[in-house]
Amino acid sequence: MSGGTAGDALRRTIDLAQRAEAFGHARYWVAEHHFTPGVASSQPALLLGQIAAHTSRIRLGSGAVQTGHQTPLTIVEQFGLLDALHPGRFDLGLGRSGQRRTSSSSPASAAEPEPARTVDGLLIPAPFSFAPLLASARFALFARLLQQPGAESPDLPEVLADIQALLAGPITDDEGNQARAVPGLGADVEIWILGSSGGLSAQVAGERGLPFAANYHVAPAAVLEAVEAYRAAFKPSGVLAEPKVMVSADVVVADDDETARRLASPYRHWVRSIRTGQGAIPFPSESDAAALDWTDDVALTISRRRRRPSSPPSSPGVPGPRRGRARCR
């Protein structure tokens, strides 16, 4: 938050986890972000260890470990260590960030994006293309610092296969040599795949019979596509007999709507920092937000991100607005 330090943010994260546990929530996840001035969450496993030490029951997870920046072994060892100290409490959420991609795998590549629409009460805004940001010199600098020289990350199916193999037992080569992840072998972690489109992540999650988290807060325009692709690809496994989906969303909680709107007023400035390539800034205070303005084109971009349906959802499958406790299932 504006005026705070990384230490302040991390301590608030632990406090929020404790409150979530007290309120009866089932899960609490942290993200992996790098080079973002306003987000102090670059090492999920380290942060989760601290949160686990200050809670006792709530499941903790990564949303998501960026598989393009680590090896399967380091991921398994990190979460194996967490499980060894706090057994049976961790979700290993995996994402494709940092891996090889093709333009066809992203909904942002559409030549003529669909306009904003509402489906069963859920707002599906017009797509936003991150392609110019990903092609920038700034992003190239970040990518260079996040990866060893000459290293090339394998695609998600290969990474996932290695992670599952290392968790299940020693890996044996053609000559009988074995490699064990210690800690890690036999760790009781639940693997989730996170995705922002109907591309590879959703398909792999479905084909491997794993739970899938759709990133509405990252790419709301593609959330239905992502869930549909996952369900279409789903095959029952030893983990799941039927599809299991979780959907992320940006939420502000307050005692009443007026207070919630006031607390959320700086959100548009925070979104602007991301979508203009600046990187997520510290969340502005209400007074700072009131003093800021922008051009009409930027205002339009943000309004598309902040819009909500004018009436509650009519479909019984999509919950409407609510206050108070919420339980993640």
| Per-residue pLDDT reduced to its tens digit, 167-181 | 999 999 999 999 999
DSSP 3-state helix, strand, coil percentages of the chain (rounded to 5)? Answer: 40, 10, 50
Q: How far, in Å, CA of 32 to CA of 94, rounded? A: 10
- What is the per-residue pLDDT for 148? 87
pLDDT of residue 316: 33
Query: Phi and psi dihedrals of 93, rounded to 5?
Result: -85, 130
- pLDDT for the residue 247: 96
Element (H, E) at 61: strand 59-62
Q: How far apart are CA 94 and CA 156, in angstroms?
A: 9
Nearest Cα to Cα of residue 62 among 74, 48, 72: 48
- As a whole number of angstroms, the distance between CA 111 and CA 125 comes to 16
CA distance 7 to 282: 13
Would you call 140 helix, strand, or coil by DSSP?
helix
Superfamily of domain 6-100+114-256: Luciferase-like domain (3.20.20.30)
Confidence at residue 128, expressed as pLDDT on a 0 to 100 scale:
85
For the chain, the structural domain boundaries read 6-100+114-256
Q: Kindly state the DSSP code that residue 292 receives in the 8-state scheme.
A: -
Stated pTM of the model: 0.84
Cα–Cα distance between 64 and 40 in angstroms, integer? 14
Q: What percent of the chain has pLDDT over 90?
A: 60
Which two structure tokens, joined as six digits, stand for 33? 């972000």
The region of weakest confidence among 92-101, 259-268, 304-313 is 304-313
**pLDDT tens-digit map of 283-296:** 888 887 777 665 54
